[in-house]
Amino acid sequence: MLTYFIRNKRFLFIFVLIISSMFFINANEKALWLFKTNGRIYSTPLVTENFVYFGSGDSIFYALDKKTGKEKWHYQTNGAVHSSPALYKNIVLFCSSDGILHALESNTGTSVWHFKAGSEEMVDLWDYYLSSPTVKDSIVYWGSGDRNIYALDAAQGTIKWSFETAGAVHATPVFSNDKIYVGSFDGFFYCLSAENGSLLWKFNTIGAKYFPKGAVQRAAVVNEETVYFGSRDYNFYALNAEEGYGNWNYRHTGGWFVAPPLVYGDYVYTGTSDGHTFYCFNKQNGTIIWEIELKMRVYGQAAFHNGRVYCGTFAGDILGFDAFTGMSQFKFVTEGFRENYQNVFTDEGEYREDFEIYGEDYLETERDLHDLGAILASPVIEDDVLYVGSSDGYMYAILL
């Protein structure tokens, strides 16, 4: 019977809406604190023992007290901070849209060093993110809109090597077994030597009619000799991490795979953009274990906690599903959702007749979605608290 319910999309979608409404009020009562910025938050926070670090579209990088949400310090940059931070000893690293990789003292926000790459670029309206730095063995690996992948000394910011692609690199490099894995807007996925940046292999995505390059926008995940990532060609890929050949791929007919995958146990979890679907795959062969139809896109990576998978959507909500069945168990909505829900949805939860999500006036549509408090960031869970930022400018701490 359970198998039937999971495979029957219509029943499952209705069931999800019913269960979600049951959790609506209780979930929102669990907000521990909120912190307001003056810009949209797309980046994923870095949560440490005492601090929550993150950037905002207001060009400011923030450090908050983890328990109270009070500001400890902030650092003004000259560009939107849509890069997620990384930590090296007492240095916190991130980049801004002015093309600078910043290194700050983590307790005070004092600048330690900065590295200026070439000109940064926003490829299109849906290119929301900047590459985030990855630190391993005192080296910072980072991608840039100037088409390069960089390796820098983490203590001083001096360059070790660079590798040029044919497109903007806004995906976050991933380190595994002395290799760097990263995709580019040129439609290739690259495996480089972490030591010297030499090309070990590259994989050309399939492409699609309207997106022939098959751009790789976000980070990959390496797990048990397989590298998993999504593309704008509607495909989700699983490649052999050593040699770059395909293990399997899944094509969704209606939307990009932008969200970085989450691998947990035998499963891979990821969402789609315009397809409004969240998937649980068997990581070995790509078989769909379960799938959920949603109201909006998923761009952020999911998080696993106590048997649940949590993800954010462009509808301004955090949803929690049973990791093994896909049954809805949790819902939290943003302040933007509370204030602007009626601009997009009816009381019955359907799109308003005068709202066209994929119509000609897509610029206005995007503004409406961001006003909902769209969640493009990936949630981070520490000690039963979920931390996530939103397009409504708030950073949230939510008790699970």
Tell me 109's DSSP state.
-
Beta-bridge partners for 394 = 36
Is the pLDDT at 398 greater than 60? The verdict is: yes
Categorize the per-residue pLDDT at 28 as very low, low, confident or very high, splitting at 50, 70 and 90. Answer: low
Neighbours of 220 (CB within 10 A): 25
Contacts 24+ apart (CB under 8 A), 364-368: 366/125, 368/340, 368/343, 368/344
Q: Closest by alpha carbon to 316, among 393, 398, 391?
A: 391
| Residues 203-229, mean pLDDT to the nearest whole number | 96
Is the pLDDT at 11 greater than 50? The verdict is: no
Tell me 79's DSSP state.
S
Categorize the per-residue pLDDT at 355 as very low, low, confident or very high, splitting at 50, 70 and 90. Answer: confident
pLDDT above 70 covers a percentage of the chain that reads 93
Categorize the per-residue pLDDT at 264 as very low, low, confident or very high, splitting at 50, 70 and 90. Answer: very high
Neighbours of 385 (CB within 10 A): 20
Neighbours of 381 (CB within 10 A): 18
Neighbours of 382 (CB within 10 A): 15
Rounded to 10 degrees, what is the CA torsion of 373, 379, 384, 385? -40
Structure tokens at 66: 């983890």
Yes or no: say if 337 and 296 are a contact pair by the CB < 8 Å rule: no
Is the pLDDT at 325 greater than 60? The verdict is: yes
For residue range 32-77, what is the model confidence (pLDDT) as tens digits? 999 999 999 999 999 999 999 999 999 999 999 999 999 999 999 9
| Residues 316-323, mean pLDDT to the nearest whole number | 97
pLDDT value, residue 27: 54
Amino acid at 91: I
pLDDT value, residue 385: 97
pLDDT value, residue 29: 63
pLDDT above 90 covers a percentage of the chain that reads 86
Is the pLDDT at 266 greater than 60? The verdict is: yes
- For the chain, the distance separating the N- and C-terminal CA atoms, rounded to the nearest angstrom, is 29
